[in-house]
Structure 1
Amino acid sequence: MDKIKIGFAPTRRNLFSADAAIEYANLTRTKLTKLNIDFVDITEINADGLIYDDAGVEAAAAKFKAADIDGLFIANENFGTEYAVARLAKNLDVPVLLWGPKDERPAADGSRLRDTQCGLFAIGKVLRRFKVKFTYLQNCDIDSPQFERGMQDFVRVCNVVKTFRNTRILQVGPRPFDFWTTMVNEGELLEKFNIQLSPVPIGEITSEIKRVKAEETDKVQTTVEWFKTNTEVQISDKDLEMVAALKVALKNKVEFYGCNAGAIQCWTELQDEIGILPYASLSLLQDEGIPFTCETDIHGAISELLVEAANLGQDRAIFADVNCRHPDNPNGELLQHLGVFAYSTADNKPILPQRHFVFDYPGSVAFEALKGEYTLCRFDGDNGDYSLLMGTGKGIEGPYNQGTYLYLEFANLNRLEFKLVEGPYIHHVAAIRKNVVPILYESTKYLGIKPDFFDPIEEDVKAYLRGE
């Protein structure tokens, strides 16, 4: 959470008790600190440290922009000044969280100090008038589990939005000719979402491999030793050195072009050039927080970034083909690849085998992934429309497979199958061992893409977001 910075904007209205609003704003500040939320405060903008007029809006906006906040937290400490916080939110273009503390019991004479809930109704309406997307955290006590969960979830939402809006993908080679499924519209990705591609030819990577083998031998050798320590190496020393050199070369190019993910034409020109498959190298990049997909699947790389961002990078993703039905379980499905599962997802010591039955080259990876509940995610689109498919599956036992693999059981496999066939999705998905569906769902309102589910769980997700 230390990477996400939240602008704290408490508000009040003059008609109600200023002292009570100040008291609750200070209580909110204390709670945010206890929750380790990195927030930017506005205590110096006026005597109250609260938003209620244009001068406060201008001062707060200037401070928040200078701090480059990732999200705005509007805390309605009494009825609040709806036009002021709406102007502030409109000026910042970041995800917005709206909340107010539950009102206390009326005084003995029947008077009330704050009327916070009523003000929340007003602010929500005015934010809509300003066309400001916002997340609502239910009107609850500041020490309630709902408040803590809602704040932490909002940080995750901000992380997804920040990641999406700052994505640049290293594209190594064009898509393989046979993979028409992975074609993308580079111009649309830039125009709609500010997602940038950095295309480089395979020759640029092979030249970098030659350079690192000559000039960065320490990095290559460190990577070789990592493989010897953390995997069962069944390939030759020469091939292992190439696996390590490819990993170092790709990471260098990611850093050189300022990218946060990559996609590579993994076959067959690469094998003609360097004699190995890239998957062992890609799996290590995955483990280091650089999602790197095969078959030049740009949308797949975006999917990985989103699903990892939803859990603040605490779990690494697998990138998999949704491949074939379980031979015995009617709702079981095989997720597999020649690699591209982060090594930290392995349930047994990973193997670097001499070959895989699909390609007679070294450089693949073999292990079964850890079981558990997984979130599946696929960002995709065609004909100008983009959406995010999401849902969950549970790890189950299944027959042995070569490569990296995992069997998942779904509530109804037919629903997933029809989604992948009828589109706009393909057979590639990103997945992590954590249920982050509500975070992804809430994020889509800020990303400008349609949320989509392969199971009818939208009402359950909404209930979670209501704190139920």
Structure 2
Amino acid sequence: MREKFKLGFLPTRRVFFSKEESNREKALIAEKIRRLAPEIEIVGLENLNEEALLITEREALEAARRFRTAEVDAVFAPHCNFGSEGAVALAAREIGRPLLLWGPRDAAPEADGSRLRDTQCGLFATGKVLRRFGVPFTYIVNSSLDDPVFERGFLNFLAAANVVKQFRGARIGQIGTRPRDFYSVIVNESELLERFGIQTIPLDLSALVRSAKKLLADPRGAWRAEAERFRGIADFSACADGTVEQLAALKLAIDAWRNEEELAAAAIQCWDSLQEEMGICSCFVNAVLAGEGFPLACEADIHGAISSLLLQSATLTPQPTFLADLTIRHPENDNAELLWHCGPFPPELAAGERRVDRHFVLPSHAPGVCSWKLRGGDVSLIRFDGIGGEYSLFCGEGRMIDGPFNQGTYGYVEVEDWPLWEEKLVRGPYIHHIAGAYGSCATVFAEACRYLSVAFDPATPDLATIESRMRR
């Protein structure tokens, strides 16, 4: 169960402008964000002063202490008038979490020529001071509270901050070693830990197999109910007797390990020791776990697991992701590509019937491979990867279209400019594995990368298009 997302609410004002107007704006903003995101917990400035508004730098240090104690995941600093730029920057630096900067659009001057807020003017000042303090921030164009620009921007910021939350300090499991010839999935565990706080938690494949077999040895074990649940998800008629039960035991063994180690995602050496030891493929288990919010990447691809975790986190409610091979171009569409893998795509994303079959490539032809097609719709595709100490995040969007039948799990994605995608991916530091999810997430990752020390590397849409989405 994921912890509730916590937002630090840091409204600010400057004393030279109307106190009453600032307090009115603060109340309206608080009410609005509660309506926009009722699922989050908001930590405010109650009792900081009589207004619960940040005004002085001394108050900034106390606000930062409160927010650190509450372990907020992000901070929203709406300027209820010009604002106190030094106090905001000081607090934000001390808190060290993603920061959202915005203020409501100013009303026309009063009849006597006076102005009540000068909010936009203060935003210019705060942006400069944040840069001086070395504080990265997200900015929403000065707009009215009910403007779609604010609503989209606020929700996009929450999603980006959630990506940052799940990335920093993530614990990623690794079951077994990489396949012998897969140099492409080599990762630097030391760099992941030192740069991002990401821990890689290993588990010997033989230990997992022993755990699964121990579970199966109990005739009244939980594997029975799990096997029955599996039969309700897909058709196993093409598999040998006992396959469903073994898959159920394998899944429960992984569940126990990931709960004990508090893992966010994992990668598994899915061939070929598992086929030799248990006579099954893990594909269906990968698919079910991904659907339950625990990405399990194929072929010991740690960066693939991280990519899936990031994409799953691009909404406050986890969404199913799939890890695909970029395989072949569509035979009739030069801007479309086959997204394929042996069978690990979540059943929730399938169109039509769902069957589990025997493997069609591995010499063992072991059962456990899923066979279904991805449903139509818009998708986002990302890949977190690195080489030589430099890390980047490839990002693109497309839509699923029809194409020739394939064995395993598959779908065809059409994008704006496939040759551009292909060249970016080949030049790297990326590989043939890419994480996918339904919906549009490019704006989320454009913001998240501001905080991750990871270069944002979009294909299509390009960066200018992505940024323009948030301004209009």
- Is structure 2 residue 146 aligned with structure 1 residue 143? yes
Q: Does the residue aligned with 2:424 lie in a helix, a strand or coil?
A: helix
CA–CA separation in structure 2 for the residues paired with 1:216 and 1:173: 28
How far the C-alpha of 1:307 sits from its partner, in A, is: 0.9
Aligned to 2:437: 432
Q: Output the amino acid matched with 1:367.
A: W
Q: Does the residue aligned with 1:295 lie in a helix, a strand or coil?
A: helix
Q: Output the amino acid matched with 1:437.
A: A
Asked whether the 8 Å contact 1:50–1:56 carries over to 2, the reply is no
Aligned to 2:28: 27
CA–CA separation in structure 1 for the residues paired with 2:316 and 2:396: 18
Deviations along 1:274-310, one digit per CA (max 9) or x if unpaired, are 1111111111111110000011000000000111111
CA–CA separation in structure 2 for the residues paired with 1:215 and 1:260: 28
CA–CA separation in structure 1 for the residues paired with 2:303 and 2:359: 28
Deviations along 1:157-180, one digit per CA (max 9) or x if unpaired, are 111000101311110011111111
Asked whether the 8 Å contact 1:230–1:349 carries over to 2, the reply is no
- Is structure 2 residue 171 aligned with structure 1 residue 168? yes
Asked whether the 8 Å contact 2:169–2:196 carries over to 1, the reply is no
> What TM-score comes out, normalization by structure 1 length?
0.97
Q: How does 1:150-229 map to 2 (within 5 A)?
A: 150-215=153-218, 217-229=220-232
Question: Cα RMSD over matched residues?
Answer: 1.5
Taking a change above 3 Å as real, the CA distance of residues 217 and 170 of structure 1, as seen in their structure-2 partners, is farther
CA–CA separation in structure 2 for the residues paired with 1:206 and 1:281: 14
Q: Does the residue aligned with 1:61 lie in a helix, a strand or coil?
A: helix
- Is structure 2 residue 241 aligned with structure 1 residue 230? no
Deviations along 1:22-59, one digit per CA (max 9) or x if unpaired, are 11111111212222253111121101111111332132
Aligned to 1:463: 468
> What TM-score comes out, normalization by structure 2 length?
0.96
Q: Which runs of 5+ in 1 are unaligned?
A: none
Deviations along 1:328-375, one digit per CA (max 9) or x if unpaired, are 212221110112211101012211113323451111110001111110
Asked whether the 8 Å contact 2:239–2:367 carries over to 1, the reply is yes
Which residue among 325, 337, 356 is the counterpart of 2:360? 356
Identity of aligned residues (%): 41
How far the C-alpha of 1:216 sits from its partner, in A, is: 8.5
Aligned to 1:452: 457
CA–CA separation in structure 1 for the residues paired with 2:178 and 2:406: 26
Q: Output the amino acid matched with 1:447.
A: L
Q: Output the amino acid matched with 1:242.
A: Q
Aligned to 2:13: 12
Aligned to 2:291: 287
Aligned to 1:117: 120
Aligned to 1:311: 315
Q: Does the residue aligned with 1:444 lie in a helix, a strand or coil?
A: helix
Q: Does the residue aligned with 1:162 lie in a helix, a strand or coil?
A: helix
CA–CA separation in structure 1 for the residues paired with 2:63 and 2:188: 39
Q: Output the amino acid matched with 2:396.
A: G
Higher mean C-alpha deviation, range 232-241 or range 302-311: 232-241
Which residue among 58, 77, 82 is the counterpart of 2:80? 77
Aligned to 1:266: 270
Q: Output the amino acid matched with 1:247.
A: K
Asked whether the 8 Å contact 2:330–2:338 carries over to 1, the reply is yes
Taking a change above 3 Å as real, the CA distance of residues 327 and 132 of structure 1, as seen in their structure-2 partners, is same
Q: Output the amino acid matched with 1:389.
A: F
Asked whether the 8 Å contact 1:377–1:390 carries over to 2, the reply is yes
Taking a change above 3 Å as real, the CA distance of residues 407 and 154 of structure 1, as seen in their structure-2 partners, is same
Q: Does the residue aligned with 1:73 lie in a helix, a strand or coil?
A: strand
Q: Output the amino acid matched with 2:250.
A: L
Aligned to 2:344: 340
Asked whether the 8 Å contact 2:376–2:399 carries over to 1, the reply is yes
Asked whether the 8 Å contact 1:11–1:74 carries over to 2, the reply is yes
How far the C-alpha of 1:456 sits from its partner, in A, is: 5.6
Deviations along 1:92-123, one digit per CA (max 9) or x if unpaired, are 11000001111111111111111110000000
Which residue among 87, 90, 94 is the counterpart of 1:87? 90
CA–CA separation in structure 1 for the residues paired with 2:223 and 2:316: 29
Which residue among 357, 370, 384 is the counterpart of 1:365? 370
CA–CA separation in structure 1 for the residues paired with 2:442 and 2:456: 10
Higher mean C-alpha deviation, range 49-58 or range 259-268: 49-58
Q: Output the amino acid matched with 2:32.
A: K
Which residue among 391, 404, 409 is the counterpart of 2:396? 391
Aligned to 2:384: 379
Q: Output the amino acid matched with 2:346.
A: A
Q: Output the amino acid matched with 2:25.
A: Y
CA–CA separation in structure 2 for the residues paired with 1:311 and 1:189: 24
Which residue among 128, 133, 138 is the counterpart of 2:136? 133
CA–CA separation in structure 2 for the residues paired with 1:66 and 1:18: 29
Q: Output the amino acid matched with 1:161.
A: V
Q: Output the amino acid matched with 1:366.
A: S
Q: Does the residue aligned with 2:393 lie in a helix, a strand or coil?
A: strand
